[in-house]
Amino acid sequence: MRILHPSDGPEVDPVEAYLDDDRPAPPGRPWVVVNMVASIDGATTVAGRSVGLGGTGDRQVFRALRGLSDMVLVGAGTVRTEGYRPPQDPVEPMASRRAAERRAPRPRLVVVSGSLDLDPTLPLFTENDLGDPAPLVATVSSSPADRRAALEPLAELVVCGETLVDLTGLLATLNDIGARTVLCEGGPHLNHQLFAAGLVDELCVSISPTLVGGVGLGGRSLLDGPSLAVPIRLRLHRVLSEDGFLFCRYLVS
């Protein structure tokens, strides 16, 4: 075993570290990264939002992972709760790398919503840069027609399934339009669906030096759903530390 903290080793630029990681896209779909922040006792929110758990290092990792991704995948509930806005320009050297690879300046937002319970006045729709593609909303054929009509001028709607969004089909669609790396930012229900379907390649967890309590009493954990049919074995690739936080990168075995 090795002592990871305290350490006298050199400081690491998290942007450089995550940028240098290898992410080969599997056949037929993009490489999928799940990124979440959690307390030591497993909570992913404080008073309903994740902001109470974060810190400077967590924001650096968040920006790094967004900057290397082609698409940011998120559930509608998280969009509403966290007040999602369009992705911003990545920091250097991510911005230069994207330009050199002739990729879009910013990742595209992809929202999963079977019911289309999304207010058309949300910032992710109204603040989208005119030069960027509209947000993509993955829904189902049974979604209400009036809600579809309200969102069609503001977003690209993709039907993936009849009553539940088919995430395998959605990722195949994203692959077809050029996505090679997709970052999922939750929430826990969407995380559970992705892991249960065997669609996750990498899990990045920022462990906040915080105790929240209540996770077993209706609180939100990393995965929200029934027990997985078979436990998923993860391989720890790296741990970074700053100000009491641990930033863990796991690969799915």
Position 219 pLDDT exceeds 60: no
CA distance 71 to 161: 20
187: its two tokens: 């929430």
**Cα dihedral value 55, 113, 98, 248, nearest 10:** 40
**DSSP secondary structure letters along 102-115:** T--SSPEEEEE-SS
151: its two tokens: 């969102």
Reported as a single tens digit per residue, the pLDDT across 116-153 is 999 999 999 999 888 899 999 999 999 999 999 999 99
pLDDT score at 221: 82
229: its two tokens: 């049919």
**Cα dihedral value 60, 73, 155, 48, nearest 10:** -70
pLDDT score at 207: 94
Q: Which of 160, 137, 161 is nearest to 149 (CA)?
A: 137
Q: Is the peptide bond before 107 cis (omega within 30 degrees of 0)?
A: no
Assigned CATH topology for domain 26-252? Dihydrofolate Reductase, subunit A (3.40.430)
Comparing 9 with 106, which gets the higher pLDDT?
A: 106
Position 216 pLDDT exceeds 60: no
Q: Where are the domains of the chain?
A: 26-252
